[in-house]
Amino acid sequence: MKRLRFTARACALLAIVAFCNGAHAQLLNGRITSAEEGPMEGVLVSAKKSGSNITITVVSDRDGRFSFPATKTSPGRYALSIRATGYLLDGPASAEVTAQKNAPLDLKLRRTQDISTQLTNTEWFLSMPGSAEQKRPLIECMSCHTFERIVRSKYNPQEFFGVLNRMANYANNTTMARIQPRVAERKPNEELARKLAEYLATVNLSKSATWQYELKTLPRPSGRATRVVITEYDLPRKSIAPHDVRTDAQGNVWYSNFVENFLGRLEPKSGAHSEFAYPLQKPGFPTGSLALEADRDGNYWLAAMFQTGLVKFNTRTRKFQSFPLPAEMNANTAQQSMVMPGGAHIDGKVWTNEVSKQAILRLDVASGKYEFIDPFRDMPKGVNHSPYGMIADRENNLYFMDFGDENIGRVDAKTFQSTIYPTPTRRSRPRRTMMDAQGRVWFAEFAANKVGMFDPQKEVIREWDVPTAHTYPYDVYLDKNGELWSGSMSSDRILRMDTETGKAVEYLLPRQTNVRRVFVDNTTRPVTFWVGSNHGASIIKLEPID
């Protein structure tokens, strides 16, 4: 943000209070107002200390007041920024935290002339005209970029058709900071691609200088959604794309890098960052990993995507062990996106998938050999399936999500017999999953805009609608209090839902955040939510105040 010149009065407003109780605690607080609304609730206020990679964010209450926790703002100069759709900061851009003064900040906001740069993917979904079926293919686009790129383009239908064919040949582990072509060429369905191209040309700027539809926005946070502290840790390179995030027993945060062959680690107290490189298996193929899972011994397993096979990281020795595919399985299209080592201590077997074959693989850790399972062999042909999110029970039986269709699958660890359970909502495309202490399987229904639970004992599935349309949840996590957490690539909001009452709160994040795997640390009180910003090269910690 551009540095502002301050008058003497403005400088006085930048002073920070110190509690003179011997501890010299610092507190950054103030009030947010605008000419249009007066005191403004639900404005996100962010403060980043000079020279630090850590940004702290709080949210203003119904009186427009905000306050940073004293433990999170040590003395120094802080750059300030806000998030409030339709508004910009009009006043101080920085603050000096000292231990001598007590003067709350008076932040003024002004209306922006162009809200289009502030819209989330969800808000573009809400704004764009068209049917649900016309918009449905767009849920794939936000994996790599925002919808703003689409609606600002000036392509006609024929030009868009060429763009769609080109993009179909980028690897799914692609970001705008690191575009990775596939080695094996793909050809999309021409009829479907032309229909999508024709639709996209009706919502972009190919025929007019401005959009011929109203730009719709979601309301700002209010009430309980303002009672939160968000900490964002910037990673050292813009190309880092954290996908799955987990904490260990020492409080460190580990993540898989979606586009580079590194396992990353963050120390939240200091913001220190380290990386551990694992070797290429297939030079010239896209790099990076998606799924990150821990085994019972605290070692981390990665699914190596287009590099194929699985990788194990021993956290004690800091060494990797690779488990490559055999030559007969290792085609140019081969891809392992998932890994589940949760039951490896039971039978020495680790589960993964083979995306190009719509199949399950099981690794024998001792021998390094893979077994092939087709869980859909007895189902009608011609339907696209995709074994995706995985979890194993106490006997190492596998439960998986059928991301290509609408099913929850189970593979018996001893017989390989597969059982398929369709979700109540058709074409739901369940994505990532977790298992609670009762053995229930919780999952996100990506295309259905729902979250769900499968009870294997009763063989029943229950679904909950998420509160905001066009959220498309990616993953879920049930915490120790029975509350379900989720996030998405579209809304920049984190969902917290009481599964007994269905009541929910959504916390808005400080900036555009492409959310993938979510994780809840149950050792804190209240619980702490963690996620990676897949396109923003950062790790985010969300701490609810209640």
Residue range 420-431: mean pLDDT, rounded: 98
Q: How confident is the model at residue 101 (pLDDT cuts 50, 70, 90)?
A: low
For 103-155, what is each residue's pLDDT tens digit? 789 999 999 999 999 999 999 999 999 999 999 999 999 999 999 999 999 99
pLDDT digits (tens, 9 = 90+) for 200-223: 999 999 999 999 999 999 999 999
What pLDDT is recorded for position 27? 77
Do 474 and 432 meet the contact criterion of CB atoms below 8 Å apart?
yes
pLDDT over threshold 90, residue 4: no
Look at residue 93 in the predicted model and tell me its pLDDT: 82
Tell me if 220 sits within 8 A of 492, measured CB to CB: no
Report strand pairing: 228-234 vs 253-257: unpaired
Q: What is the pLDDT of residue 5?
A: 35
3-state helix, strand and coil shares in percent for the chain, rounded to the nearest 5: 15, 40, 50
Q: How confident is the model at residue 102 (pLDDT cuts 50, 70, 90)?
A: low
Residues 434 and 440: their CA atoms lie apart, in Å, by 8
Contacts of 22 (CB under 8 A, 6+ apart): none
pTM of the model: 0.93
Q: Which pLDDT value is given to residue 98?
A: 84
pLDDT of residue 433 exceeding 70, the answer is yes
* pLDDT category of residue 454 using cuts at 50, 70 and 90: very high
pLDDT of the residue at 545: 96
Confidence check: pLDDT of 2 > 90: no
Whether the CA torsion 134, 163, 493, 112 is positive or negative: it is negative
Is the pLDDT at 24 greater than 90, yes or no?
no
pLDDT of residue 15: 33
Write down the pLDDT at residue 33: 97
Mean pLDDT of the chain: 94
Specify the pLDDT at position 100: 67
Percent of the chain with pLDDT strictly greater than 90: 92
Q: Cβ atoms within 10 A of the Cβ of 537, count?
A: 20
171 closest CA partner among 276, 278, 290 = 290
Residue 14 reports pLDDT greater than 90: no
* Inter-residue contact 513 to 492 (CB < 8 Å): yes
User: What confidence tens digit (pLDDT) does each residue in 49-97 have?
Assistant: 999 999 999 999 999 999 999 899 989 999 999 999 999 999 778 999 8
- Of 203-207, 381-385, 387-391, 416-420, the poorest mean pLDDT is in 381-385
